[in-house]
Amino acid sequence: MLSPLHAAHYADAAVQQRAEIIENVCLARDTYRVRLRSPIIARRIVPGQFLMLRLTDVNDPLIGRAFALYDTVLDGNGEPTDLDIVYLAKGKLTARMAELTAGRFLDAWGPLGNGFPADPIEHLIMVAGGIGQTPFLALGAEFLGLRQYGCPPRKFPPSKRVTLCYGARSADMLAGVDDFQRMGIEVHIATDDGGCGHHGLVTEVLQSVLDSHPGPHRIVCCGPEMMMEAVAELAQRRGSPCQVSLETPMACGIGICFTCVAKIKDADGGWDYKRTCVEGPVFDAASIQW
């Protein structure tokens, strides 16, 4: 079988630049929000897209890491100037990143990937696990009609309701809940230890949201693979449209290394490894061979 010539989403709007850190603040346990000055990327990026970040002038850590857009920041004239990225400081690069202060720099390239489609829907249900809430603040704001993203800006009729089902290990790992609530997003929390919200799985929270709001809706999901698989299964069982944002490890983010492959179903019932960075990271849940 021949593959098509092009992947769906090459880095055609991406720029590589050294971006100044405006602030880098702690949001929750081991979780930080870094604000980067990059008007070009901030103008172009849409929710669900990501950028690659790398420490400047060092060879260890060597490879950049992929981070979803948390939100863009506007200047006094309403022009996007900065990018907010929320990250968990758990590895070699992110631990060092957490120590960086305003005025320092990171190497950045983006925007990358497809982002969530701008298809209007009455009720958008966002399901997040772990650090998987990060793509959903901007998405929620956009679907509530409070913010616009992209160049030219994506415009579509707003949703009546946007819900976030957010699962974390414990209450101190919940990051950015205030940001979501301030936006008018309904937040339902689940924690593994019961320290906040529902004591149990985020899929159980999703189930009750679906039960109480049977109207037209779409589920979007980001988090650990097992959780995304469970959400995809639940969505399929209930006939809900569902998109997932995959977090496969990446080395380049731009389609040249073939690291970040996921098994994507093809038309003839088989599957092929597809590059998450240039074919995703957002996929229809039904297209994934879990």
The contact set with other proteins (CB under 8 A) reads 1-7, 10-16, 54, 59-64, 92, 107, 109, 248-249, 251-252, 254-259, 261, 272-273, 278
Residue type, 107: D
CB of 250 to other proteins, least distance (A): 9
Residue identified by tokens 């449209």 is 241
Helix, strand or coil for residue 174?
A: coil
- By beta-carbon proximity to other proteins, the closer residue of 55 and 164 is 55
- By beta-carbon proximity to other proteins, the closer residue of 187 and 254 is 254
CB of 225 to other proteins, least distance (A): 11
For residue 249, CA distances in Å to 40, 169, 259 come to: 26, 21, 7
Q: How many whole angstroms from its chain centre is CA 126? A: 11
| Partners of residue 199 on adjacent β-strands | 191
Phi, psi (deg, nearest 5) at residue 220: -120, 145
CB of 59 to other proteins, least distance (A): 4
CB of 56 to other proteins, least distance (A): 10
Q: List strand residue ranges (DSSP E) for 172-238, in order.
A: 186-191, 198-199, 217-222
- By beta-carbon proximity to other proteins, the closer residue of 60 and 211 is 60
Structure-token pair, residue 242: 């569902």
CB of 16 to other proteins, least distance (A): 5
Contact between 104 and 54 (Cβ < 8 Å): no
- By beta-carbon proximity to other proteins, the closer residue of 153 and 249 is 249
Contact between 74 and 81 (Cβ < 8 Å): yes
- By beta-carbon proximity to other proteins, the closer residue of 207 and 248 is 248
Which string of DSSP letters, residue by residue, matches 104-118?
-EEEEEEEES-----
Side-chain half-sphere CA neighbours of 254 within 13 A? 16
Beta carbons within 10 angstroms of residue 131's beta carbon: 23
Give helix 202-212 / helix 225-238 axis angle, nearest 10°. 20
- By beta-carbon proximity to other proteins, the closer residue of 156 and 271 is 271
CB of 104 to other proteins, least distance (A): 18
CB of 192 to other proteins, least distance (A): 20
Structure-token pair, residue 109: 């390239």
CB of 205 to other proteins, least distance (A): 29
